[in-house]
Amino acid sequence: NKITFDYSNAVPFINEKDMINIEASIHKAHEHLHKRDKNASDALGWVDLPEQYDRTEFKRIEKAAEKIRSDSDVLIVIGVGGSYLGSKAAIDSLSHTFRNQLKPEKRNGPEIYFAGHHFSQSYLKDLIDVIQDKEVSINVISKSGTTTEPAIAFRLLRDYLEKKYGREEAAHRIYATTDKEKGALKHMASLHGYETFTVPDDVGGRYSVLTAVGLLPIAAAGLDIKRMMEGAQEAKKQLSEKSISKNDAYQYAACRYLLYKQHKVMEMLVNYEPKLHYVSEWWKQLFAESEGKDGKGLFPVSAGFSTDLHSIGQYIQEGHRHMFETVLHIESNTENITVRETEDNSDGLNYLSGKSLHDINQKAFIGALYAHTDGEVPNLVLSIPKLNEYYFGYLVYFFEKACAMSGSLLGVNPFNQPGVEAYKKNMFALLGKPGYEKEAEILLRRTKK
Ligand code: PA5
């Protein structure tokens, strides 16, 4: 009932002595993560969340999801960063690969589309084309309630909804997930009477998938959010061990730190299942925003194998030796597609007859694991018994715990993201947002040079 971590393929870069030496720093950070008198500014609400979540709100999430499932062909989830990556990761990894293209009776809930995570004009136009003649609901998600990408998408899509249904009916089809009292989105929700869900004060955006932020879209997709919370609860139990030898998340964090210290400055999260693509996207945000600051941090990248073994595989095997891999290894698969024997064996594949694609994928995994390790790319392996809601919840908590610990080992604050403001300041100045006049002047002089 757990996800296991194995660093035996990272030897000789990591040895038991290193693990013993790092234990004191782990204990210190552990005490901080589990301290009793937490306050909102510590941003540690996610630590106890799997056990201490708001049950009343959880019931409201289930009820809203039921309503969306009964009155909508389409749900549009508007949000960026931590406000969409977690639900996208869950829905993609746990649903049919072509979920939105399935006939309604096979799909299990509405088609789900994401918006407000960029400024692309053609994406929004194409989305509006796709939802024509369909019944639509919107879940707009922004913890701050003021982020520009989702705010613009919401203004445009709300307009579409109000034209289609009229203001009153549209308001019954809009669900807002945001701060309990502040921000423009909260204000709009109160003004127009949208049902609202809360992002707890002490849970940061990228740690929020197990709050209403992730749970409402995930439940609307027909997935079992109770089971997901049970998986996270089990992870919480297993990963509250102080001792590094008993805590896989702390071992993973320690390995990352020790490899970083040996100039392995890039971590590649590898999967062998295309459905996991957005799990990697979620993971990249979690680690990049948490650790990449003060001139420090591993650079998180991702790859889907075996596809990418035919593109970046050459570099991994023989290029600059500055990376390690963390492999998400899914142990079992319920589908069973096997290679059958043919009489003429003209494609030469009879040696595979009777083998399933899953078996072949497993051999690709072992083959790449040994080849890359031999090529001095240390490999860390996370074994996940199977892809389901329970293990998704477990995995989320595993990475959150490991990320918080990694940040502490590195000596950075894993819960802020001051660096993302720099581009916003320039963009606002260039767009003429009130309050950015000085910056606009400086930028204007720069562009004239
Ligand atoms: O982790 C974070 O805090 C950020 O990535 C946010 O999730 C992202 O910027 C979206 O912010 P908001 O939910 O306030 O719109």
Check pocket membership of 205 for ligand 1, CB cut-off 6 A. yes
What does the alpha-carbon distance between residue 61 and residue 224 come to, in Å, rounded to a whole number? 12
Point out the ligand 1 atom lying closest to the alpha carbon of residue 82. 7
Predicted complex ipTM exceeds 0.95: yes
* 205 burial type by CB count under 10 A (0-12 exposed, 13-18 middle, 19+ buried): buried
Instruction: Say whether 62 is catalytic.
Output: no
Question: From ligand 1's centre to the CA of 278, what distance in Å?
Answer: 17
Nearest to 380 by CA among 2, 9, 3, 16: 9
Provide the token pair at 278. 């957005």
Per-residue pLDDT of the chain (449 residues; tens, 9 = 90+): 899 999 999 988 998 899 999 999 999 999 999 998 888 889 999 999 999 999 999 999 999 999 999 999 999 999 999 999 999 999 999 999 999 999 999 999 999 999 999 999 999 999 999 999 999 999 999 999 999 999 999 999 999 999 999 999 999 999 999 999 999 999 999 999 999 999 999 999 999 999 999 999 999 999 999 999 999 999 999 999 999 999 999 999 999 999 999 999 999 999 999 999 999 999 999 999 999 999 999 999 999 999 999 999 999 999 999 999 999 999 998 888 999 999 999 999 999 999 999 999 999 999 999 999 999 999 999 999 999 999 999 999 999 999 999 999 999 999 999 999 999 999 999 999 999 999 999 999 998 87
The catalytic residue among 63, 386, 424, 425 is: 424
Q: Which of 46, 84, 118, 143 maximizes ligand 1 atoms within 8 Å of its Cβ, making it the mutation to test the pocket?
A: 143
**DSSP secondary structure, 329-392, as one string:** EE---S---BPPP-SS-TTS-GGGTT-BHHHHHHHHHHHHHHHHHHTT--EEEEEES--SHHHH
